[in-house]
Structures are given as structure tokens and as C-alpha cells.
Amino acid sequence: MMKKIIIFALVTVTAVIAIVVTISLLNPLRRQTQEEILRNVLEITPIGMNMEEVLEVIEREDWELWNVNHYHGFIRRPTDPEDFALGRETIIGVKSISACLGTYIGGHGRIFHSYTGVTVRWGFDENSILIDVIVLKETDAP
């Protein structure tokens, strides 16, 4: 009897791990680069769209709305190492929205022990018109 319980437990754990790995590997956010995701986002939230329309897209796509800021644009961190070291950041727009498109386990060659989130930031001018979009894939791992 005890042997059957142990076998059942091992089969169950193996099945759960297989399901988690399969779902993670099938996640389209895992397979796409930031640039590919940005192209897809720009297809449905093109430059020139207003804030309310972007919010409607976020709701329709079932993305997780993180922030709507009517008083501040988003910060674009520098890619140049010297600018990064000096803390040179650029503020894009005077209003902004940020949302999470999704997450997945694993990234950068790791299957477990890492968590990758894909976020989008939209920047708007004083008339609430979209002027710029960035996509960030950020991995948290030990």
C-alpha cells in the first residue's frame, strides 16, 4: 500500500512539473524578442492613438494595468554604459501608462529559478496622444 502511495505521489509531481514546463515553453512572450513584441504592440496601439483608446486595448487584451499617470511621462533608461553609470535618464512624454503583458518561468537559458515579466510603457503628450512605446523583458533570478 505504501509503495502505491509513493508511486502515485511521484507520478503526480512529475506530471505537474511537465505541465508547468510545457506551459512556460509554449508562452509566446518567451519566444519573441523585445523588438518583436514592440512591433506587435505598435500594431494595436499605434503612435497617435489617445490614452483612452490605449486603456481600452489593455482591457480588451486582458493585460494587467499597472499605472496610469496624468502628470508624468515614463523614464527611458539609457542603454549606453557611460550614460547608465552617470544616471542619465530620459523622460518620455508628460503622461504615461504601464501594463504587464504577461510573465513566464525561466529565461536566459534557465528553466527554473527565474521569473521573467514583460511590461509595456506608453508615453503621451499634453493632449493625451501617444508619442512613444517601450517594451521591457526583465528577468529576476538568483
pLDDT in tens, 103-130: 877 655 555 567 788 999 999 999 999 9
Q: What is the DSSP letter of 77?
A: -
> Contacts for 99-104 with beta carbons within 8 Å, 24 or more apart?
99/58, 99/63, 99/64, 99/65, 99/66, 100/63, 100/64, 100/66, 101/29, 101/37, 101/41, 101/61, 101/63, 101/135, 102/27, 102/29, 102/63, 103/29, 104/24, 104/27, 104/29, 104/30
Greatest mean pLDDT among 2-6, 32-36, 60-64 lies in: 60-64
pLDDT of residue 135: 94
71 CB contacts (<8 Å, ≥6 apart)?
A: 94, 95
Q: pLDDT tens-digit profile of 11-21?
A: 676 655 555 55
Whole domain around residue 6: which residue ranges? Answer: 2-140
pLDDT of residue 26: 47
- Report yes or no: 45 and 134 within 8 Å, Cβ to Cβ: no
Q: What is the pTM of this model?
A: 0.70
Total domains present in the chain? 1
Q: How confident is the model at residue 138 (pLDDT cuts 50, 70, 90)?
A: confident
Q: pLDDT tens-digit profile of 28-43?
A: 555 688 899 999 999 9
Please tell me which residue, 101 or 23, carries the higher pLDDT value.
Answer: 101
Displacement of CA 81 from its chain's centroid (Å): 23
Residue 76 phi/psi, 5-degree rounding, is -100, 115
Average pLDDT over residues 39-67: 97
Look at residue 46 and tell me whether its pLDDT is greater than 60. Answer: yes
